[in-house]
Amino acid sequence: MVNDDEWMTINATLIRWFYATISKDLFHTVVSDEDDAHAVWTKLNGLFTDNKLQNKVFLHGEYFGCQQHDSSIDDYCMRLKKLSDELRDLGETVPDELLLSTLTAGLNKDFGNAASNLTLIPNPTLPKVVAYLKLEERRMKMTRTRATHTALIAGTACGGAPPTSAPQPRPDPGAYQSPPPPGFPLPQPPVQQPSPTDRR
């Protein structure tokens, strides 16, 4: 249908839509200039459906080993949701219960209490759990900020310890000493008392 102008317009529109939907690097890796929309779709579909078993094995490892670590709740949940979507693309069913349990197991230790409270949410769903965890994350940030602010105020109010004066060096008896100012008596050497044997 190369000579059909209407079809060529539709074909170009579909290829442009593929280009705008996926990553540019992925598009240029598999697509050739002479490919039509059907060829482009076949190549892109093959990237995600070929070697299904190997892809499932790798995705399973990433999915069940996904941990929050230091990332935010938004980043952690988006990463887990992306992995579950990739498994669904390969025909792997990921029920919401499995998604929520995997999400809970990967939370860092700061969310220990929040993870225990997730069981109290009636009819838990991913949007409900994410909303609750984001509120908990915000509360913890406010608590840390308040604690830091209180510590700074306490440190400023108490002040630092008074500086201790360094011990003064003792004068050397043999060293030259400047005379005292006028009006002050000169130091006299101590008078030695005679011992009893001297008195005899």
195: pLDDT confidence band, cut at 50, 70 and 90?
Answer: low
Distance separating alpha carbons of residues 94 and 101, to the nearest angstrom? 11
Average pLDDT over residues 175-196: 56
Most confident of 42-56, 128-142, 172-186: 128-142
| Alpha carbon distance, N-terminus to C-terminus of the chain | 146
Extract the tokens encoding 161: 């310890």
pLDDT tens profile 3-13: 778 888 988 89
pLDDT tens profile 154-173: 767 665 555 555 566 565 55
Average pLDDT over residues 111-124: 86
SS3 state at 139: helix
Domains of the chain: 5-49 (no CATH), 52-155 (1.10.1200)
197: pLDDT confidence band, cut at 50, 70 and 90?
Answer: low
Distance separating alpha carbons of residues 140 and 146, to the nearest angstrom? 10
Distance separating alpha carbons of residues 134 and 106, to the nearest angstrom? 15
> Of 47-56, 88-97, 118-127, which range is least confident?
47-56
> Of 73-87, 115-129, 150-164, which range is least confident?
150-164
Taking CA 172 as the corner, what is the angle to CA 167 and CA 177, rounded to the nearest 5 degrees? 105
Distance separating alpha carbons of residues 92 and 85, to the nearest angstrom? 9
- The owner of tokens 């070929």 is 50
Distance separating alpha carbons of residues 149 and 136, to the nearest angstrom? 20
Distance separating alpha carbons of residues 131 and 74, to the nearest angstrom? 10
Mean pLDDT of the chain: 79
Q: Does pLDDT of 175 surpass 80?
A: no
pLDDT above 70 covers a percentage of the chain that reads 76
Q: What is the pLDDT of residue 171?
A: 55
Q: Does pLDDT of 187 surpass 60?
A: no
